[in-house]
Amino acid sequence: MTFNELNLDQKLLDGLDAIGFDKATPIQELAIPKILENKDLIACAQTGTGKTAAFLLPILHKIAQLPEKERHLNTLIIAPTRELAVQIDQQVEGLSYFTGVSSIPVYGGGDGETFITQKRALEAGADIVIATPGRLIALIGSEKVDFSKLQHLILDEADRMLDMGFLGDILRIISFIPERRQTLLFSATMAPEIRKLANKILNKPEQVNIAISKPAKGIKQQAYVVNDTQKLPLLTSILKDESFKSIIVFSSSKDNVKNIERELNKFKLGAQGFSSDLDQNAREAMMNQFKAGNIRVLVGTDVISRGIDVTGIDLVVNFDCPPDPEDYIHRIGRTARAGTAGTAITLINPRDQRKFFRIESLIGDDIPKIEVPNELGPGPEYAPQKKQEGGFKKKGGFKKKSGYKGKRRFPPKNKGERNKG
């Protein structure tokens, strides 16, 4: 279906034509008509499916149709991270170029001056506010935000926000906005917690589901089964392949990010660590450099698995296996966007084999295991069904935990036995 067939405002169609968008993606084709009919909506769609435009286009259409005197703060979009808030704001700017619709991104980080600037921007007014929960709560406390004319509430990546502990903030924000509104909830998964939230805040919602928990078809997935000592040498070997021009490496912690960045740059592989420790200006500058191709390898935690939209990423490497199968989908979804192709490689140590097995079960496919290069020595066997070291003993045992010092788990049967312990 083309965008012309969706009966959008001509100014919006002119903007879509200017940026080369002609055909709607499946999520856009299904969601846009329901939103235009003013129905509440639950939409499940993985990253890279065009979900942001799926909710922005009909909202921009409605605002563009309003007389100037009826233009107030019309739409609130809540997003889990500053990166995603900025990305949505940039898409509003691009899609609404010919409509005159205005937007303000509101997010934490930065200094006191940033807070004051955002506060003044809200006082001045805009059609759309895109906000992270914590910063919006702070601004609401200043009593400078007027939600009285709000018509639309959109929760983007609702599952991520609940994972990050924002449920209380979301419900508090909703207590300040009109009950009569259109509410749209977009999520990559539909866990029970999301259902409960939807039942609380949506009114007789329609539902759209698009390819949940399935990687894009253009992603070539591979894995190496390795020991921890083989990870960095193998990663270095992989990144020496110059056919990969734009690369993201995911790790499990900020300390690992710094170590990986340092080791890769010993071989002049052009790596930069992306961390929540950086201030907002530094993060945006680094992301712009990456988009421009001036940084070849971006190393980071899951803070960059969502909320960035960069076309042309050739390779995603999971240096550490993601803790949750859905996180795997979001990480590798950074490549093969907008119909392009890409490669996703995961390094699996013995402790992470069960995690990876759950990933394979989720996507319903066995991901090819590539043999470790001979010069690095043999890797371990991939046997996720076997009990790993430190697991449960067969009889009367208990699971060992980090920091276990040999103390008994249960009280001894008598004083004599207690004294022996």
Let me know if residue 383 belongs to a domain. no
Do 9 and 85 fall into the same domain? yes
- In the prediction, which pLDDT does 365 show? 85
Let me know if residue 391 belongs to a domain. no
Which of 183, 210, 237 represents a domain boundary (last residue)?
Answer: 210
Let me know if residue 405 belongs to a domain. no
Cα 81 from Cα 105, distance rounded (Å) = 11
Do 179 and 278 fall into the same domain? no
Q: What burial class does residue 421 get, using C-beta atoms within 10 Å of its C-beta: 0-12 exposed, 13-18 middle, 19+ buried?
A: exposed
Do 32 and 173 fall into the same domain? yes
Strand positions, DSSP E, 243-371: 247-250, 271-274, 297-300, 315-318, 342-348
Do 71 and 198 fall into the same domain? yes
Do 194 and 326 fall into the same domain? no
- In the prediction, which pLDDT does 311 show? 77
Strand positions, DSSP E, 101-258: 103-106, 128-131, 152-155, 182-187, 206-210, 219-225, 247-250
Let me know if residue 286 belongs to a domain. yes
User: Is the Cα dihedral 47, 91, 28, 25 positive or negative?
Assistant: negative
Q: What is the pTM of this model?
A: 0.60
Do 155 and 241 fall into the same domain? no
Do 297 and 336 fall into the same domain? yes
Let me know if residue 176 belongs to a domain. yes
Do 182 and 322 fall into the same domain? no
- In the prediction, which pLDDT does 217 show? 82
Do 290 and 198 fall into the same domain? no
Which of 153, 178, 210 represents a domain boundary (last residue)?
Answer: 210
Let me know if residue 166 belongs to a domain. yes
Q: What is the pLDDT of residues 202-234, one digit of tens each?
A: 999 999 987 555 687 889 999 999 999 999 999
- In the prediction, which pLDDT does 48 show? 64
* Number of structural domains found in the chain: 2
Do 203 and 136 fall into the same domain? yes
- In the prediction, which pLDDT does 70 show? 83
Do 205 and 226 fall into the same domain? no
Domain limits at 350? 219-376
CATH number of the domain that 231 lies in?
Answer: 3.40.50.300
Q: What is the pLDDT of residues 357-366, one digit of tens each?
A: 888 877 778 9
- In the prediction, which pLDDT does 325 show? 74
Instruction: Tell me the average confidence (pLDDT) per consecutive run of 10 residues in the chain, 421 residues long.
Output: 90 87 88 96 80 94 90 93 89 91 84 72 83 89 80 93 90 94 90 87 91 75 97 96 94 90 94 81 86 93 68 92 79 82 96 90 87 95 70 35 36 40 38
- In the prediction, which pLDDT does 156 show? 94
Let me know if residue 155 belongs to a domain. yes
Q: Over pLDDT 70: what percentage of the chain?
A: 86
Q: Which residues of 249-277 are buried (b: 16+ CB within 10 A; e: fewer)?
A: bbbbebebbebbbebbeeeebebbbbbee
Pick the closest to residue 62 from 209, 181, 200, 198 (CA basis).
Answer: 181
Query: Within its chain, how far is the Cα of 421 from the centroid?
Result: 49
- In the prediction, which pLDDT does 408 show? 33
Cross-strand pairs, 280: none
- In the prediction, which pLDDT does 72 show? 87
- In the prediction, which pLDDT does 309 show? 67
Which of 210, 239, 256 represents a domain boundary (last residue)?
Answer: 210
Let me know if residue 381 belongs to a domain. no
Q: What burial class does residue 213 get, using C-beta atoms within 10 Å of its C-beta: 0-12 exposed, 13-18 middle, 19+ buried?
A: middle
Do 156 and 185 fall into the same domain? yes
Pick the closest to residue 351 from 228, 251, 235, 252 (CA basis).
Answer: 228
